[in-house]
């Protein structure tokens, strides 16, 4: 049986993070959405449907994946946004040919023989015009970015039990390291814990993936995940509900926050209830608010409606797109959304919504010229022995033209 995970028409619900990646590559808990689906169904070949904007960059990065191409064989299609669990898995596997699983107007999954070879998120529904619809109101999908932050701690627990608990555990600590509830701690090969480190897994698991460095006197409280090759700086305080993807450098105080990967917050400063993309750099003493002074729910800029909507959540921090930087002493207000490729600085509060490719202070920003952005992005990636590729340039130029 072929399996294809697809991004549907709601891929822009998760801007600015999905301006530069598929929904299936959003991280929540330890895994990305696509990885969790693949784990449940034991999928060994990666076949995905994404927006036309992302097609070139995915084909460049993943030569062995099938991207926006389907074969005329019986296939199970699974929505990337689905909150996969054993009940959802059973409902999907029970589908017969030419049936689709739906909740209201959302197609959760379908089983059919495609009559097209080429498809994108924009014209995906043309694959499923005549299928028998089976309603299942018990299966839920992700709808907003702040949901990932709010449910991150629970998904770390789930992923630990379902994926990491039975894996080879290189649990070994140096003299001077304190580990509370060690049966709830998983340490990957090549990971180093310096003297004075405290790992507290009393309230949830702590997973330190391969080749992680935890520097002296850092404290990590579970549930928490630190991704491959990442570094937690001296005296950092990593609180519950935090997931840090690969190759990040993180210091200061972090709570209930997701780092997609390759991003830095090396210095003191608070970051809470937030979601950061890749290649983000927060300058020293950057702080964000995640709670309003009146304790009311937080409104957040929502790209599909181009206006603020009520998150129905009391704790909401900031959402920052790829390749955005903040200068020293930056202050970010509650529920602020910052697009890709921004460069922000100054003592004024950064508030509510900053469009992609802007630079300046919180109160006055200007257009960030695309050639200047690409020049900086090239330098940033070269520091990790990576290149800002031609398909990346093409994608960011498209985003730039959409903004201006």
Q: How far is the C-alpha of 70 from the C-alpha of 113, rounded, in Å?
A: 9
CB 319 within 8 A of CB 356: no
Name the band, by pLDDT with cuts 50, 70 and 90, for residue 27.
very high
Name the band, by pLDDT with cuts 50, 70 and 90, for residue 129.
confident
Supply the pLDDT for residue 251.
98
User: 173 pLDDT exceeds 90?
Assistant: no
Supply the pLDDT for residue 125.
83
Q: How far is the C-alpha of 231 from the C-alpha of 163, rounded, in Å?
A: 23
- Structure tokens that stand for 341 in this block: 């490729």
Taking only the tens place, the pLDDT of each residue in 338-359 is 999 999 999 889 999 999 999 9
The residues near 306 (Cβ < 8 Å, ≥ 6 apart) are none
The residues near 379 (Cβ < 8 Å, ≥ 6 apart) are none
Looking at every residue in the chain, the average pLDDT score rounds to 95
Dump the DSSP string for 215-281: -TT-EEESSEEE-TT-EEPTT-EE-TTEEE-TT-EE-SEEES-EEEES-EE-SS-EEES-EEEES-E
- Sorted by where each starts, the structural domains of the chain and their CATH numbers stand as 2-143 (3.90.550), 146-403 (2.160.10.10)
pTM: 0.96
Pick from 65, 16, 10: nearest CA to 43: 65
Q: How far is the C-alpha of 108 from the C-alpha of 124, rounded, in Å?
A: 13
Taking only the tens place, the pLDDT of each residue in 195-213 is 999 999 999 999 999 999 9
SS3 state at 30: coil
- Structure tokens that stand for 373 in this block: 């952005």
Q: DSSP code of 167? A: S
Taking only the tens place, the pLDDT of each residue in 253-272 is 999 999 999 999 999 999 99
User: 370 pLDDT exceeds 80?
Assistant: yes
């Amino acid at each position: 049986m072929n399996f294809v995970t697809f991004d549907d028409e709601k891929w822009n619900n998760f801007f600015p993070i999905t301006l530069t990646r598929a929904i299936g590559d959003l991280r929540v808990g330890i895994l990305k959405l696509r990885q969790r689906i693949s784990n449940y169904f034991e999928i060994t070949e990666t076949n995905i449907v994404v927006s036309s904007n992302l097609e070139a960059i995915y084909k460049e990065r993943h030569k062995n994946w099938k991207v926006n191409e389907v074969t005329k064989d019986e296939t199970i299609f699974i929505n990337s946004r689905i909150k996969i669990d054993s009940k959802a898995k059973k409902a999907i596997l029970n589908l017969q040919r030419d049936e689709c699983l739906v909740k209201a107007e959302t197609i959760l999954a379908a089983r059919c023989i495609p009559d097209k070879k080429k498809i994108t998120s924009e014209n995906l529904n043309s694959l499923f015009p005549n299928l028998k619809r089976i309603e299942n109101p018990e299966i839920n999908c992700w709808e907003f970015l702040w949901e990932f932050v709010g449910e991150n701690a629970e998904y770390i627990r789930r992923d630990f039990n379902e994926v990491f608990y039975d894996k080879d555990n290189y649990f070994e600590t140096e003299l001077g390291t304190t580990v509370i509830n060690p049966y709830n701690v998983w340490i990957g090969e090549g990971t180093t814990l310096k003297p004075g480190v405290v790992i507290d897994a009393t309230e949830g698991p702590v997973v330190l993936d391969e080749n992680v460095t935890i520097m002296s006197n850092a404290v990590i409280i579970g549930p928490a995940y630190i991704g491959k090759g990442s570094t937690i700086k001296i005296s950092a305080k990593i609180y519950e509900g935090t997931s840090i993807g690969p190759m990040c450098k993180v210091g200061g105080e972090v709570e209930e926050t997701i780092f997609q990967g390759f991003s830095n917050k090396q210095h003191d400063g608070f970051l809470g209830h937030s979601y950061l993309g890749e290649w983000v750099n927060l300058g020293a003493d950057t702080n964000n608010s995640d709670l309003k002074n009146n304790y009311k729910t937080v409104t957040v800029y929502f790209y599909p409606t181009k206006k603020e909507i009520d998150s129905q959540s009391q704790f909401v921090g900031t959402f920052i797109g790829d390749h955005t930087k903040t200068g020293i002493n930056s202050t970010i207000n509650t529920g602020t959304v910052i697009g890709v490729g921004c460069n922000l600085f100054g003592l004024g509060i950064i508030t509510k919504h900053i469009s992609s490719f802007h630079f300046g202070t919180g109160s006055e920003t200007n257009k960030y010229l695309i050639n200047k952005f690409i020049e900086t992005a090239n330098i940033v990636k070269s520091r990790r022995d990576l290149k800002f590729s031609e398909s990346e340039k093409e994608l960011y130029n498209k985003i730039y033209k959409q903004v201006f």
